[in-house]
Structure 1
Amino acid sequence: MAVIAFVNQKGGCAKSTTSVHFAYWLSRKKNKVLLVDADAQRSSSIWLESMETQIPFEVVQSPDDLLERIPELVQTCQHLIVDGPAGLSESTRAILFRADLAIVPCQPTGVDLRSASDAMRLIRQAQSVRSGPPKAAVFISRAVKGTKLLEEAIALLTKSEVPILKSVVYQRQIVADTFGQGATVWELAGKPAADASKEFERLFKEIMGLLQ
């Protein structure tokens, strides 16, 4: 049993997209999964409601409820995925006090890199209080191939104390379309969907490797 949280203070960094795709990927591999939607916009729970493949979820948003419910909910599944709220709120802190692994999606822009740095600071505070967990890492999301911005972001993150995953998920319209279609890239046809599914597969295998 493991609690894996996707957190960042900045909206639009692909927290919900990654959370839903990760839950679906684990479910396809016959894992018992539960997703906790802690974001006020409820993007991931609305998305899961519209999907043909039924993946269980709970909407839990207040700090006290998160602290109390996460330990209870993780007992009912193999992997509990938490889609964190936008903003480094007390709810985010509560999630980090319960997570085994915290993943920070980060777009390769100056604003997003600063936001990821703030998220990692909060993670380090939780690690200090808990004397260890959660494990943590950043991955680059919604990147544009071949751009100087992407190269600079990778170089900057590599030089920092923030663990960075090798996998990169690139910006694709097919990924942006998945929410509206009530699906994941694995359920859509065409080469862009196939390419995106390979990127998510690499990312999720790398994330699971951190739990070992």
Structure 2
Amino acid sequence: MKYISFVSKKGGVAKSTSAIHYAYWLTKEGYEVALIDDDANRTVLKWQARANDNPKFSPPFVVASFAKMAKAVAGVDFVILDTQASISDDDLKDLAEDSDLVVIPTKVDVDSASAATETAKAINDSKGTYRILLTDVLTSGTAGAELAEDLKEDGYLVLESFVRRGEGVRHASLAGATLAQQPGKYRMPWRDYQKVFSEIHSIID
């Protein structure tokens, strides 16, 4: 059983979205997966409730709250943990010790990047394995590539793949589905996520 945690000291950086899509990607690769919602906003559980009302999509993985984690993870290959924002250093230490990989999403702005580096330092100090994931990246400019390069120059470990900005993310969330079920251009960020998850898998395999 492998544990992958999606973590950031800041909310609104696509942490829950990335966790949902990684759980979905893993099931498509043939794995049994449990997605655990430990976020006070209950973003994943709210998404699941919308999915339950969606006649065209049903999550192919187990979704549970952290309180029900023990039962939910029985027999699965992967446990995906969506953590709370403003997470404490003590919790980060526990995650560093328990996770095979900590994925730290960040948008391309100063506040998000600062939270990502602060999170990465805490994981690294506890001898955990992490990667920073750039999300909501505008493909028309160079800001994403510049931030990735700056982070690398400062010694941080950054995934080579990134996730572009796309209206499909909002559409999928509202529908209780994933980007893979979206039509046309709304599906575009899913292509990025597939590259991201292939890269993650190569790290933890």
**TM-score, normalised relative to structure 1:** 0.86
**How far off is 1:44 after superposition?**
1.0
**Conserved 8 A contact 2:137-2:164:** yes
**Conserved 8 A contact 1:84-1:95:** no
1:92–1:200 Cα change, 3 Å: same
1:75–1:5 Cα change, 3 Å: same
Q: What corresponds to 1:203 in structure 2?
A: 196
**Conserved 8 A contact 1:5-1:102:** yes
Structure 1 stretches (4+) deviating beyond 4 angstroms?
Answer: 72-75
CA RMSD of aligned residues (A): 1.9
**How far off is 1:73 after superposition?**
5.7
| More strand per residue | 1
Q: Give aligned-pair identity as a percent.
A: 24
CA distance in 2, matches of 1:170, 1:20: 16
Counterpart selection for 1:152 from 138, 146, 152: 146
Q: Does 1:168 align with 2:162?
A: yes
**How far off is 1:75 after superposition?**
5.0
Decide which moves more: 12-21 or 117-126. Answer: 117-126
Q: Which runs of 5+ in 2 are unaligned?
A: 52-56
CA distance in 2, matches of 1:48, 1:73: 15
**TM-score, normalised relative to structure 2:** 0.88
CA distance in 1, matches of 2:63, 2:92: 18
**How far off is 1:147 after superposition?**
2.3
1:5–1:167 Cα change, 3 Å: same
Q: What corresponds to 1:53 in structure 2?
A: 58
CA distance in 2, matches of 1:148, 1:203: 19
Q: Does 1:82 align with 2:81?
A: yes
1:148–1:197 Cα change, 3 Å: closer
**Conserved 8 A contact 2:47-2:176:** yes
1:191–1:149 Cα change, 3 Å: closer
